[in-house]
Structure 1
Amino acid sequence: MSHTAAAPDPARAPLAGLKVLELGQLIAGPFAGKTLGDFGAQVLKVEPPAQDGAAGGDPLRQWRMLHEGTSVWWQVQSRNKQSVALDLRTEAGRAAVRRLIDEADVLIENFKPGTLEKWGMGYDALAATNPGLIMLRISGYGQDGPYRDLPGFAVVAEAMGGLRHLMGEPGRPPVRAGVSLGDTLAALHGVIGVLLALQARARTGRGQVVDVALYEAVFNCMESLLPEYSAFGAVRQPAGSALPGIAPSNAYRCADGQVVIGGNGDSIYKRLMAAIGRDDLGQDPGLAHNAGRAARVDEIDAAITCWTVQRPVDAVVAALQAVSVPVGRIYTVADIAADPHYRARGMIERIVTAQGLSLEVPGVVPKLSDTPGGLFRPAPALGEHDARAWGDPAA
C-alpha cells in the first residue's frame, strides 16, 4: 500500500511563514520553489495568463504525459504552490509583481541574465523597498562572466560541467541520463544558497543575491576530475558502468538481467570473493587494498561475471545480501512502485489532483524527525489565487 498524503499541518513545517515568490518556469527555478514549498514555505508562483489563443501558464503544464490537458509532472513540480496569472511584459503586470515582491522573503527567477533589470526589477531596485529580500537567480552561466548572455539549458550545462563526457561506453558517443540533472542540481544548490542567506539575514537583517549557474552546479559534483588533471594531466574518460580506479564496482550480467555490485571495501571484497567461490582472489595479498585491485580490475570483474552470469538476479542479490555485500537490481519505475522499502519510507505518496485523478507521486526528501515537510496542497490551476495572493496559506 502506498502512503496517502494526509494534509499535514504546514504551520509545523520548518519554513512555515516564509514567503517565496517564484517567477521561473520549467525546471530549475520551479524545482527550487517546490523544495522550499515541501517544507512549509508559502510559494506564490507567477505565470503568464492565457491570451491570444495560447493556453498560458508555465509550459511544464503541457510537458510529457497529460491528464485532461494537464501534465502529471505538473502535479509534482507545482505541489504546495499557489498560482497568480500576471503578464510581466506589461507595466501593469510588473507593478503587481513588485507589490508582491515587497512582501516576499525570497524571490526565485531563472530568466536570462539582465531580463529583470530590463524590467526595472534588478536586485538593487527591489532591495530599496525590501532590504531583507533574498533573490535566487538560476541561469545557464551565472550573472557575470563572458558567457552570461548565452542561452543555457541543462543539456549544455551537463556537457560544459564535465558530466556528459564521462557518461557512456568508452569509444562511443556520450549519453544523457534521461532526466534533466543540470536543472535539478542547480535547483538544489539554489535551495542551499537560500537557506544560507536566510541564516545570514537573521544576523544582519539584510538580504542578498544567490547566483547559481547550471554548469557550476554540475561541475561541483565532479569529484576528483579537476585535481587529477591539475596534478597528473589525467583526463578521465568514460567507463561505462564501472567506477574508474575503484574496484570492484560495476554492473554485472546475470542469467536474466543485471545487478550492480559495490565490492570495493577491503573487507567487503574478501566476503564477495568468498561468496563467489574465489578465495584465491580474496586472500591474494596483492588484492588486499584498492590500489592492487584497480590494477587488476579486468581479472576481478571477469571472475564476478563468471559467477553472476550463471544465476538469476534474485539469487545473486540474495546470496550477496546474506554476506553484507552491497548489491542491487537495476530498477525500472515498475520496480520502484512495487518496492516495500520505498513505501515504508513514505517515498511513494498518493494524492488526488484538482481534476480528481488519484496519482502516486514522490514523497518529501529529506526526512526531518520533528518538523517534517509534507504535501500540503495540490498543484494549482492557472491564476487560482489571483484574488487572494499572499492570503491564507491554507486556502
Structure 2
Amino acid sequence: MADLTTATPGPLHDLRVIEMGQLLAGPFCGQLLGDFGAEVIKLESPGQGDPMREWGREKPKGRSLWWPVVARNKKSVTCNLRTPQGQDLARRLIAKADVVVENFRPGTLERWGLDYETLRADNPGLILTRVTGYGQSGPYAGRAGFGSIGEAMGGIRYTTGDPDHQPARTGISLGDSLAAVFATIGTLAAVHHRELTGRGQIVDSAIYEAVLAMMESLLPEWDITGYQRERTGAVLPNVAPSNVYPTAGGEMILIAANQDTVYTRLTAAMRRPDLAAAQRFATHSARGENMAELDDIIAEWTSARPADEVLTLLHEAGVPAGRIYTARDMFADPHFAAREAIVRLAHPDLGDFPMQNVFPRLSETPGSVRHTGPELGEHSTEIYSTLLGLSSDELAGLATAGIV
C-alpha cells in the first residue's frame, strides 16, 4: 500500500488545472499533470459523469478498474456545461486556474461562450490545452475523431501486424495516450513560456499528429526513394537479429542483438564463432539481407534450451533479451518490485488496489499517486465554496436545478 504521508507535493504543486472533456485523450493529460502534483479539478456532468467510470471488461462490485487509474489524484466537481449557469460556473473557476484541458470537438467551447479570447480576458496567463482527433484547424477539424481513426491516419495502423493480414491494432488506446502525452509536453512548455513572459497560449494536440510524430523516417523514405513501409509482423525489415524465439518449454523470448558488437557477443554465447566470421552475417546490412536464415539458426539454438538457461547465458554475455510479460509476470518480477513500478492504494470499495506508478522519476521532486479516482461530485462543495465562495443554500439551489 502506498504511504501517502511520504508523498512529495510534486514539481507542479503550484498549478491548478481545470479538466473538461471525457474518455481518455484529455483525461490522460490531466492524469499526467496530477501525477506530478498539479491540482486537477475535473468537471463532470451531474448524475452521469465521465463514461470512463463505466468502462472496462472486468467490473468487480460494478466498479470500473480503469477509472481509479485515469482519474487518480483528481478532484471531481459536477457542472452542467450545457446550461448558461454551468458555463458561468466554469468561467469563474477557469479565472482562478492556470491550465484548462479539454477534448471536445472543435467549436464546442466556443458555442458555450468559453472561447479562449473570452477566458483570457479574465485570465491573461491562461493556458488552454485542446486535444482532438484532427486539431483545431484544417478541413477535417470539425469531424468526430477517436483514437483509432488517428492511429489509422497517422500511419501506425498500416504498418502494424502481419503482412498477410489486415492492419492490426495494439491492445491499448495508443492514439489517445500519445496525444495526451504530447498535450502534456506542450502544456509544460507553455507554462515555462508564461513564466518568462506572463502570457498564456493555446496548446493544440491532434491525435493523428501525435501518431505521425512516432513514425520515424516513414515520410522521407516515401518521398525521396519511393519506399513504402509495409507490415512485417514481429520483425523490423533489415534489422537482425531482433525477433521472438522459441525455447524448450514452449515459452517465447525476445532477443535484440542487431548491433555489430552485440551480435558478436550473441555468437559467443551460442558458441558459434563461425556465425560472427561469416560474411553473410558480418555487418548490419548483411544480417538484414539474410534475416530469415539467421533467425532460423538462432531459433534452433534457443528451442533446444529452457528459457531460463537461454536468458542467463544472454544476460551474462551482455545481450539484450527478455520474456514477453503479462500482468502476472509484472507482479512477480523483482525489478518491478525494487523500483516500485507498481503502487498499491486503498480503494473504498475494492480494497487493495494496484496500478502503475508515476513515470518518469525525478530525484528531488518525484510525482506520486495520492488517491484513486474520486466519486462523482466528491469535491463539489469544497471547490465551489472555497474558490467561488458559494454558500450551502446556493449550492443546494444549483443542485436542485441540475446545474451541479
Q: TM-score surpassing 0.5? A: yes
Tell me if 1:153 matches 2:146: yes
With over 3 angstroms needed to count, the CA separation of the structure-2 counterparts of 1:126 and 1:360, relative to structure 1, is same
1:176 shift after superposition: 1.1
Q: Deviations over 1:13-36 (max 9, x none)?
A: 100110000002111111000000
Matching residue of 1:218 = 211
> Any idea what SS the aligned residue of 1:30 has?
helix
Which of the numbers 287, 298, 305 marks the counterpart of 2:299?
A: 305
The 5 A counterparts of 1:320-335 are 320-335=314-329
Which of the numbers 27, 30, 33 marks the counterpart of 2:30?
A: 33
> Any idea what SS the aligned residue of 1:349 has?
strand
Runs of at least 4 residues off by over 6 Å:
390-393
> Any idea what SS the aligned residue of 2:122 has?
coil
With over 3 angstroms needed to count, the CA separation of the structure-2 counterparts of 1:358 and 1:11, relative to structure 1, is closer
Alignment: residue pair count = 385
1:70 shift after superposition: 2.3
1:149 shift after superposition: 1.1
> Any idea what SS the aligned residue of 1:82 has?
strand
Contact 2:246 2:252 (C-alpha < 8 Å) held by counterparts: yes
Which of the numbers 255, 258, 282 marks the counterpart of 2:252?
A: 258
Q: Distance in 2 between matches of 1:20 and 1:13?
A: 14
Matching residue of 1:374 = 368
The 5 A counterparts of 1:217-236 are 217-236=210-229
Contact 1:270 1:283 (C-alpha < 8 Å) held by counterparts: no
> Any idea what SS the aligned residue of 1:5 has?
coil
Q: Deviations over 1:162-186 (max 9, x none)?
A: 1011111112112111100001100
With over 3 angstroms needed to count, the CA separation of the structure-2 counterparts of 1:296 and 1:110, relative to structure 1, is same
- Which sections of structure 2, spanning at least 5 residues, go unmatched? 388-404
Tell me if 1:347 matches 2:344: no
Q: Deviations over 1:283-341 (max 9, x none)?
A: 22453321111111112111111111222222221121111100011111111111111
Q: Distance in 2 between matches of 1:392 and 1:373?
A: 25
Tell me if 1:242 matches 2:235: yes
1:9 shift after superposition: 5.8
> Any idea what SS the aligned residue of 2:34 has?
helix
AA of the residue aligned to 2:12 = L
> Any idea what SS the aligned residue of 1:72 has?
coil
1:244 shift after superposition: 1.5
Q: Distance in 2 between matches of 1:154 and 1:100?
A: 29
Matching residue of 1:16 = 13
Contact 2:8 2:367 (C-alpha < 8 Å) held by counterparts: no
With over 3 angstroms needed to count, the CA separation of the structure-2 counterparts of 1:202 and 1:10, relative to structure 1, is farther
- Which sections of structure 1, spanning at least 5 residues, go unmatched? 51-55
The 5 A counterparts of 1:157-306 are 157-255=150-248, 256-306=250-300
1:193 shift after superposition: 0.1
Tell me if 1:58 matches 2:55: no
Bigger mean CA deviation after superposition, 9-18 or 117-126: 9-18
Q: Distance in 2 between matches of 1:81 and 1:25?
A: 13
> Any idea what SS the aligned residue of 2:258 has?
coil
1:69 shift after superposition: 2.8
Matching residue of 1:318 = 312
1:227 shift after superposition: 1.4
The 5 A counterparts of 1:35-114 are 35-50=32-47, 56-64=48-56, 65-114=58-107
AA of the residue aligned to 2:172 = V
1:39 shift after superposition: 0.5
Contact 2:346 2:352 (C-alpha < 8 Å) held by counterparts: yes
> Any idea what SS the aligned residue of 1:44 has?
strand
> Any idea what SS the aligned residue of 1:36 has?
helix
Contact 1:186 1:218 (C-alpha < 8 Å) held by counterparts: yes
Q: Deviations over 1:221-268 (max 9, x none)?
A: 011111111221000111111122221111112221211110011111
